[in-house]
A and B are shown apart, each in its own frame.
Chain A
Amino acid sequence: MHKEYLTVSNIVGPLVIVEKIADVKYNELVEIEDSRGRLRRGTVLEVSTDQAVVQVFEGTVGLDIDKSRVRFLGRSQQLPVSEEIIGRVFDGSGRPRDNGPQIIARKRLDINGSPINPDARDYPSEFIQTGISSIDGMNPLVRGQKLPIFSGSGLPHPRIAAQIARQAKVLGKEEKFAVVFAAMGITFEEANFFIEDFRNTGALERAVLFLNLANEPAIERIATPRLALTCAEYLAFELDMHVLVILVDMTFYAEALREISAARKEIPGRRGYPGYLYTDLATMYERAGRIKGKKGSITMIPILTMPEDDKTHPIPDLTGYITEGQVILSRELHRKGIYPPIDVLPSLSRLKDKGIGAGKTREDHADVLNQLFACYARGKEARELALILGEAALSDLDRLYLKFADLFETEFVRQGEFEARTIEQTIELGWKLMRQLPKKELKRIRPEYLEKYYSPA
């Protein structure tokens, strides 16, 4: 058995300090039994010859100094996995919450994972058709990409994420796939929305859920996404499945991390978040990808709500620095009643270039995309100018661009929540809008494609 310590000297926020210890290791899993026999878990954040700082997942409410019993388990936190994990629902610490049995472990995996050797990575290049024009046409997603949604409170990110999960497919392929869903700090209603949607489409049977809801311990959220990603790695790289991971809401995750950092009295970085937030997020986001010689893949859609809709807030900012692009939602479009309110200009897919084009989507896709961006940007500029000086002050050409921007929002971006457009339809829609403009304005399109596609078929 493991040695037991009754030497807690300090309890600060989510942290417990244990004294007079021996043979304790950094990042080791800890079990704490309170005076009523209830067990909690934690990990060692820092250890010196006679003292360990332990972060308690379930929080420290009800713990006391003299009766808490602490055991160091000699290993880091693990997730038991087997094929049986598919279709199951767990809490934020990985315990079943669906009244099902414990998973009989085929393997126990360290939830922190190990970095993928950069030399082992296969470059993601398979186009995923989500059926959403503002994504497929403008910021295409590929298998193995990590593409977050930057949202704001009250914006319809759950509906968009669910629509992607429902409609996403790789053209011309039927392969084993799974959804891994991790909820951190979201409400029961929001979580339930996803679960019902997965149930209705039959995806639930191929999903694994890890739920830490708003009323559940905040510190547990540190482990939740790691459990989900460990599960995803198992499904993708050992069972050859194509896994879509949805992490929602990364903002609450980062707040939990901030709480721990504050309790440790670390020097805070921007807005009180710890200086290592970037590294911490990266060790999770970088678990998405493809590996040479492996069939499966991990595609990741982390969702976060930007505090005050501010993209420069540390959480979206650092996320954007790590992920392979971002889909940004706009409150302005939402107010105009446009669903999905995707703001295409600041949105970006960094991996699109090898995922689109002849044989993948369509030969003219890259040019169309570049041209639509340029035209919409110019149209929005014209709209701003018209606001200041009145529409009459615009040149004829700028008026055309203004009209283009309006149509782009109402016809291209706007679509039904259950409308799945093919990539062909999306590109054609782009051409339909571009025909509003004189041919010679379309400078980003190669002459041969202009010849071929500008005049309506």
Chain B
Amino acid sequence: MREFRYEKATDPAGAVATLTAAPEGAYLGGGTNLVDLMRLGVATPDVLVDVRQLTSTEVEDLPDGGLRIGAAVPNADLAAEPRVRERFPLLAQALLAGASGQLRNRATTGGNLLQRTRCTYFTDVTMPCNKRAPGSGCGAVAGYHRNLAVLGATNRGGDDGHTCIATHPSDMAVALRALDATVRVLGAEGERAVPIGELHRLPGEDPSRDTTLAHGELITAIDVPALPWATRSRYRKVRDRASYAFALVSVAAAMDLRGTGPDAVVADVRIALGGVAHVPWRATVAEDALRGGPATEEAFAAAVAAELAAADPLPENAFKLPMATNLVTRTLLQISGEARA
């Protein structure tokens, strides 16, 4: 643990200026992830710029029927927000499936998106980890990786400088990925809007970078565009215990079903998976396979199977494939069943 300076800026631009000038500094949201990592010596910022009172704690209506969520909205408030519950039930469900009541009170929307992997080699500074200490190798591949990635990972055996099979642990981000949210970011050069699909990145050749944000860029808000049929949506999470555990596999799904009975057709569908990759994983292959087709168990299962064809599991986490197949199939059946009813 390193000594650090604590700063409170007066406005977002001031915060950006302060952090841009401090290459080893960090923004502080609720601190529920960052402070833990500081205690462990994994994060060693010399300056903390507190942005919890600086960014918005409001959820505002967008003209199209969507919502703008301030970066400092606590996870608990967002989950309880009536407009979220009504328009985007999968988002409220995802938030409530995460962490614990105390943590959700403290954690912010911006911080949640940027929380780091729970890989136990990443959080232990005595272990090799390409994400924390680039080039040191990946301890997880030959070690404990039961809850790590089966999709999109870089796995060259663990001893090279690029291997990383970490997962992104956020539940909320999976729902936002399914909803095609946009992340509003303020940097030294001004504002930009980052589609959530472009915020997180796969490890590729540089596992040290979780996102495409530049140092000093501040998340100010998240825009969730309208999606009228998201009222029929769900977030389901498989975990080791009934509460307070990260997802082994999770799914955020919404479906636009046209017609009734056995002839009903999937006009559109959104599926994102958690617990399987370095990013909240949008199941575009499965979505494409389902669009325009029947809403049957066979079709759902086949679509997930197509999505998971690219998976490259390890012995300890191969169970995630049948688990994900069942989970997605069942969730889609539940949504289509409700739509029919």
Chain A bound to chain B? no
| A residues in contact (CB < 8 Å) with B | none
| B interface with A by C-beta (< 8 Å) | none
